[in-house]
Amino acid sequence: MNAVLAPASSPLLSVRRLRVHFSLRGSWPWSKPSILRAVEEVNFDLAPGETLGIVGESGCGKSTLARSLVGLQPVTSGGILYDGKPLQTLDAEGWRAMRREIQMVFQDPLASLDPRMTVGDIVAEPLRSLCPEIDAAERERRVAQWLERVGLSAAHRNRYPHEFSGGQCQRIGIARALVVRPRLLICDEPVSALDVSVQAQIINLLRDLQKEFGLSMLFIAHDLSVVRLISHRVLVMYLGRIMEQGPRETLFTQPLHPYTKALMAAVPGQHLGERELVARGEIPSPLSPPLGCVFTTRCPIADPHCTRQPPPLKSLSRGRAVACHFVGG
């Protein structure tokens, strides 16, 4: 049985054996569709007030996972429980209510803002559509308050997104997400489109807001150093599967899975001192993943057993879990 990434207190979000598959039509009308397993048997819990970093190379399923948690992507099987309630059974009205609870910040800050709306209208929109009990005057007050809180000015409310820098647009996106006071914030690569100096400012802002409002956060990124700055725990994905998970510091200082080690060895300035940690070759096509362990074709320590038998995600001590035949007995 695969281990569940479990927080200390009772979870706000529980993901169980989640699968998201895409059926891709062949080039000819008579050819059989191919199945792309973007998310495969993913399990984790997220506690109130906790930030879980999700890291992995491009195409490993991070965004698909995030989109499935906010109802933007239908799930193939498995369960998502929010505060004990299954999200898959929600109808349109149920999802509307849930959008007050779960909000998302997107990767491309400018593209995620409607260019025809003023910044004030953009931030007011979730209040207008999700909180009808809030009157216009209170809405205006909250918009001004949130623009200030994210480091802009209430005077910016009549300007348009193209008048702002990428970092400022991401601040607007954060204000829009938090104005309805969600309990869970899903950030999908929120800083990867920004300059490095601006990245740090946005990370600090998110970290401050997370503490101030006791938010639970899923923070998705391919950049390990960014994930390390903000996460309490980290989950490493490869080809739709969890390879390793654990508390941030132990995972970063003592990575156990060969894939996690390879990711860390690729970070400039990291000196793990083991040349063989480097992952060989390219990521295989997700349409035909390797048999057995999906990392086997790039793994420096794989043996024939790895190509036959997929390793389960085994629970180790101190909240760690690893899916590797060579770790944990």
Ligand X SMILES: Nc1ncnc2c1ncn2[C@@H]1O[C@H](COP(=O)(O)OP(=O)(O)OP(=O)(O)O)[C@@H](O)[C@H]1O
Query: Which residues contact ligand X by CB under 6 A?
Result: 22, 24, 36, 38, 56, 58-64, 222, 286
- Reference 252, options 276, 238, 237, 231; nearest CA is 231
Closer residue to ligand X (CB): 36 or 102 = 36
From residue 72, alpha-carbon distances to 79, 196, 216 in Å are: 15, 29, 19
Closest distance of CB 30 from ligand X, Å: 21
Closest distance of CB 45 from ligand X, Å: 21
Residue 5 per-residue DSSP state: B
Closer residue to ligand X (CB): 59 or 247 = 59
Contact 49, 212 (CB under 8 A): no
How would you class 205 by CB atoms within 10 Å of its CB: exposed for 0-12, middle for 13-18, buried for 19 or more? middle
Closest distance of CB 111 from ligand X, Å: 14
Closest distance of CB 118 from ligand X, Å: 30
Closer residue to ligand X (CB): 62 or 232 = 62
Strands (E) across 144-232 are located at 184-188, 216-221
Closer residue to ligand X (CB): 52 or 152 = 52
Closest distance of CB 188 from ligand X, Å: 7
Closest distance of CB 60 from ligand X, Å: 4
Closer residue to ligand X (CB): 72 or 155 = 72
Closer residue to ligand X (CB): 56 or 190 = 56
- At 265, is the secondary structure helix, strand, or coil? helix
CA pair distance 306, 1, nearest whole angstrom: 18
CA pair distance 273, 251, nearest whole angstrom: 17
The H or E element spanning position 144 is helix 136-149
DSSP-assigned states of every residue in 212-260 = HHT-EEEEEES-HHHHHHH-SEEEEEETTEEEEEEEHHHHHHS--SHHH
